Amino acid sequence: MSEGSFNPFNMAQHQFDAIAEQLQLDEATRDLLRNVDREFHFNIPIRMDDGSYKVFKGFRCQHNDARGPAKGGIRFHPQETIDTVKALSMWMTWKTAVVDIPLGGGKGGVICDPRNLSLREQEAICRGWIRQVAKNVGPLQDVPAPDVMTNGQHMLWMLDEYERMVGYKAPGLITGKPLGMGGSLGRTEATGYGVIYTVREALNEMNIDIKNTTASFQGFGNVSQYAIDLYTQYGGKAIAVSSWDNTDKKAYTYRKMSGLYLQELLDITNRFGEIDRNKAIELGYEVLSGDAWIEQDVDILIPAALENQVNAENVNRIAPKVKLISEGANGPTTPEADKVIYERGIWMIPDFLANAGGVTCSYFEQVQCNQNYFWTKQEVLEKLDSKMTHAYHAVSDLARERNIYMRDAAYLISVSRVAEACKLRGWV
């Protein structure tokens, strides 16, 4: 979430403006794509467990749907802002375009902290959220999904409320649902695995054996957990990971130079990705400051938490050994930090390419729901690997051909695809 003067939507617009200039987009196209098409603000009043009433603020933004229905997750977070949601909806447009799936960009959120809410209160928020946007979402209009601090159960509550309202089954309304209730095998792993598919391809291009690499991760939520899982399956050594401690209200970095053991960390982690610090110490982990993940002497850095995590204040703390950064989070690197990373020759796999595995598998879930026929996990992951690998090489080839930053190459591909769709529709 945003802190201080940092505004994620301003950053997203700044990134777009630079690419629009390179593509020489006309003024109307720029005006259309640098702003969201629609944004919804609404109140969600619910009765709390103690009998009192509380009003929660909710949002939904649809940035662009020229290439297909809007697509994007719903965050529950105490520091959620409309500017964060607008930025994420724009990044979703570029994300679906860069992997070339027929969807647009959307995002939603609620200002709340599910860590301090009962399941009944969370269910009430989910049902209240969908009641507020039911006329503006749907399988052919805007398809939500889980995001930070939301999960398959939240999505199922939302789906159930929507189906009650419309009077028919609509499993394609929302993705990230539980298995057996319209969810897809492989969806839980998809974002984290997608990050590592791109890391694998980048290392192959560098002629580096992944088995000889080390990595440091920021965040220990779904994305980071599965990224560590696949990275270590490939033979890489993860030595550090940061995690938020809700008791202390601060983050810590947990390091083990011999390599993290994923399962032992999962055994001492709650469902919000928060590692039990005292138990980690008992298991022999060094406990460092929360921002120490970025200064580890590793080959690969994977920021997989929130936006504005690699910035002008800490980018120079990146160790000389680092060769590759793959952004598991959305918007973790600011333009000021990008400049330093590019000048240092660190290979950057930008967020809307690196973490596109989630939305790609969500698209697969939609397809399966619409067909009422579901694929095996192997089929899903094979299709995901193929899609991510193809998208990575399209961006990498353009970056090398033009000798430009990977983020710029990804933007050139995605923005040009969306701009062309808008022109073909006669919007601009």
Domain extent listing, the chain: 36-171+409-428, 188-349
Closest Cα to residue 215, out of 186, 237, 193, 245? 237
Predicted local distance difference test score (pLDDT) of residue 244 = 87
Predicted local distance difference test score (pLDDT) of residue 308 = 87
Catalytic annotation, residues: 107
Predicted local distance difference test score (pLDDT) of residue 2 = 44
Helix (H, G, I), strand (E, B) or coil at 53: strand
The single-letter code of the amino acid at 181 is M
The single-letter code of the amino acid at 118 is S
Predicted local distance difference test score (pLDDT) of residue 4 = 53
Q: Give one word for 392, left, alpha or beta, with left for phi > 0 and alpha for psi -120 to 50.
A: alpha
- Measure CA 302 to chain center: 13
Long-range contacts of 132-136 (CB under 8 A, 24+ apart): 132/40, 132/42, 132/43, 132/44, 132/58, 133/40, 133/42, 133/60, 133/108, 134/161, 134/162, 134/165, 134/166, 136/38, 136/40, 136/60, 136/62
- CA 335-3-190 angle, to 5 degrees, is 70
Taking 50 as the pLDDT cut, the residues of the chain under it are 1-3
* CB atoms inside a 10 Å sphere around CB 356: 31
User: 230 near 217, Cβ under 8 Å?
Assistant: no
User: 352 near 329, Cβ under 8 Å?
Assistant: no
Q: Per the CATH hierarchy, to which homologous superfamily does domain 36-171+409-428 belong?
A: Leucine Dehydrogenase, chain A, domain 1 (3.40.50.10860)
User: 159 near 145, Cβ under 8 Å?
Assistant: no
Per the DSSP assignment, residues forming a β-bridge with 348 are: 325
- Measure CA 283 to chain center: 30
- Measure CA 228 to chain center: 16
Do the first three CATH levels of 36-171+409-428 and 188-349 match, i.e. the same topology? Answer: yes
Closest Cα to residue 153, out of 113, 188, 195, 191? 188
103-112 pLDDT tens trace: 999 999 999 9
The structure's pTM equals 0.92
User: Where does 188-349 sit in CATH, by number?
Assistant: 3.40.50.720
